[in-house]
Amino acid sequence: MAHLFESFTMGNLELKNRFIRSATWDATADNTGKVTAKSLEIYRKLGGGNLGLIVTGFTFVSLSGQAGYNQYGIHSDEMIPGLRSMVKAAKINGSKIAVQIMHSGINSIYLAGKNMESLAMSRMKNVSRPHREMTEEDIENIIHDFATAAVRARAAGFDAVQLHGAHAYLISQAASPLFNQRTDCWGGSPENRRRLHLEIIRAIRQAVGRDYPLFIKFGVMDDKEGGLTLEEGLETARQMVAAGIDAIEVSAGVGQASIIIRAGEPEVIPFRERAARLKQEVSVPIILVNGIRNLETANEIVHSGDADMISLSRPLIREPGLLNRWQSGEQVSAKCISCSRCLRIREGEFLKCHQEPIFP
Ligand SMILES: Cc1cc2nc3c(=O)[nH]c(=O)nc-3n(C[C@H](O)[C@H](O)[C@H](O)COP(=O)(O)O)c2cc1C
Ligand code: SF4
């Protein structure tokens, strides 16, 4: 029977256990996207946290795709030395580290805050902040930016790249009929709405080869009427795997807020059923995220065959050492109460748990 604290292989990546720190924006980069001393402090703590794999906070592939304040960038070679230090900090205890790369598309609090234009799959009548529909050349440039970012990731020493294909950012917008109403080859039919996913994967594979581990956090369906359906998302997943994706982390597409669970209430694992469906469709490892707060639940999910790996974000904000506690046999629930207050990071602030001092 699978043991969560035994090694596991994801693509070509040998991990010391089946636990992942899901990508988490910490707002510690400097104003140009560079890693800072504060960032390294966080990654050193995570490195001591006994994780199989640490995924960085989302990292923009081009300036037009910056989503948040003090977000990490991987858009220029100047970012590489800082990212290399981050890799070193995270690997002190045998964890592997992946960088999550993304473009925000129309959905950028950073650009909106500066009243700067964002790039959209389609013009949105109900969105007042400045944006414009991308030309085909814009799209080709962004595909190229993703591929160049993957080359930089490898140069910085990351063990893998994770595409951010969820949470209503550009890749998720391309898949969703709610954001993508284009009539050229990038919109309309399901084939056209998954073209961006497949072209990014192909461009990355061409740039870094078949062996470099590449996976995706994927909003396999939208939770809004008229959005991406599960059946269509499953077909996109099948095609992404055929194009060279090594694992899939199942998360929200358009329209799903983080789940808030009050202290003492049972866990709610909103994407478990979707993960189980995906596992029947593709042969690569499936990673489940959102709401998992107990080792017992994590074990049950993997043993039931609904997912292969367990991913955590908020519990590790409150307790970076949670897995050490769980592995030593102390199996009480994570201390995070899923209030999601840590998500509300204002400009000039760092990520912190509002229930306890920063990174206890
Ligand atoms: C402060 C904060 C920052 C986040 N940043 C990212 C991010 O950069 N990329 C991403 O894919 N998800 C991000 N998420 C979502 C988490 O990775 C995760 O999917 C979500 O919190 C649900 O998992 P959990 O219940 O274990 O927290 C963030 C969540 C929080 C709370
Ligand atoms: S603020 Fe703290 S307790 Fe609330 S969700 Fe974030 S990490 Fe968990």
Distance 23 CA to ligand 1 centre (A): 6
Q: Whose CA is nearest to atom 3 of ligand 2?
A: 336
Ligand at minimal distance from the CA of 357 is 2
* Range 65-75 burial, b when 16+ CB lie within 10 A, else e: bbbbbbbbbbb
Phi, psi of 19 (to 5 degrees): -100, 140
How would you write the pLDDT of the chain (360 residues) with one tens digit per residue? 569 999 999 999 999 999 999 999 999 999 999 999 999 999 999 999 999 999 999 999 999 999 999 999 999 999 999 999 999 999 999 999 999 999 999 999 999 999 999 999 999 999 999 999 999 999 999 999 999 999 999 999 999 999 999 999 999 999 999 999 999 999 999 999 999 999 999 999 999 999 999 999 999 999 999 999 999 999 999 999 999 999 999 999 999 766 666 666 778 899 999 999 999 999 999 999 999 999 999 999 999 999 999 999 999 999 999 999 999 988 889 999 888 899 989 889 999 999 865 444
Q: How far apart are CA 91 and CA 89, in angstroms?
A: 6
In angstroms, what is the span from residue 61 Cα to ligand 2's centroid? 28
Distance (angstroms) between ligand 2 centre and the Cα of 358 equals 11
How many C-beta neighbours within 10 Å does residue 200 have? 29
Which ligand is nearest to the Cα of residue 54, counting in written order?
A: 1
Q: Which atom of ligand 2 is nearest to the CA of 343?
A: 6
* Three state DSSP letters for 42-95: HHHHHHCCCCCEEECCCEECCHHHCCCCCCEECCCHHHHHHHHHHHHHHCCCCC
Which residues are registered as beta bridge partners of 161? 99, 214
Q: Within 10 A of 348 (CB to CB), how many other CB atoms are there?
A: 8
322 lines ligand 1 (CB under 6 A): no
Quick check: CB of 100 below 6 Å from ligand 1? yes
Which strand (E) or helix (H) includes residue 296?
helix 295-304
Q: Is 24 in the pocket of ligand 1 (CB under 6 A)?
A: yes
Q: Residue 136 C-alpha to ligand 1 middle, in angstroms? A: 31
Ligand 2: distance of its center to the CA of 356 in Å? 8
> Which of 10, 28, 30 lies closest to 19 in space, CA to CA?
10
Closest by alpha carbon to 166, among 220, 97, 119, 107? Answer: 220
The 3-class secondary structure across 308-345, one letter per residue, is CEEEECHHHHHCCCHHHHHHCCCCCCCCCCCCCHHHCC
Residues in the chain: 360
Domain 8-343 listed as CATH 3.40.50.12640: no
- As a whole number of angstroms, the distance between CA 175 and CA 165 comes to 9
Q: Closest-lying ligand to the alpha carbon of 164?
A: 1
Q: Report the 10 Å Cβ neighbour count for 346.
A: 7
Q: How far is Cα 310 from Cα 292, in angstroms, rounded to an integer?
A: 8
Q: What is the pLDDT of residue 257?
A: 62
> Whose Cα sits closest to atom 8 in ligand 2?
336
3-state SS assignment for residue 131: strand
Q: Give residue 130's Cα distance to chain centre.
A: 26
Ligand 2 is surrounded, with C-beta below 6 A, by 314, 317-318, 336-342, 353-355
Q: Which residues make beta-bridge pairs with 250?
A: 218, 288
Pocket test for ligand 2, best of 26, 333, 353, 359 (most atoms within 8 A of CB): 353
Q: In this predicted structure, what is the pLDDT of residue 360?
A: 41
Instruction: Please give the distance, rounded to the nearest whole angstrom, from the Cα atom of residue 17 to the centre of ligand 1.
Output: 20
Q: Rounded to whole angstroms, how far apart are CA atoms 307 and 293?
A: 16
How high is the pLDDT of residue 267? 86
Residue 331: the pLDDT is 81
Q: Is the dihedral of CA 329, 331, 335, 339 positive or negative?
A: positive
Q: Please give the number of the atom of ligand 1 that sits closest to the Cα of 343.
A: 1
Note the ligand closest to the C-alpha atom of 56: 1
Which of 312, 337, 356 should be mutated for ligand 2, with most atoms under 8 A from CB? 337
Who's near 73: CB < 8 A, 6+ residues apart?
29, 32, 33, 34, 59, 60, 63, 66, 79
Does the beta carbon of 342 lie inside 6 Å of ligand 1?
yes
Residue 172 CB–ligand 1 contact under 6 Å: no
Q: Which ligand is nearest to the CA of 267?
A: 1
Q: Is the CB of 230 under 6 A from ligand 1?
A: no
The minimum-distance atom of ligand 2 relative to the CA of 335 is 3
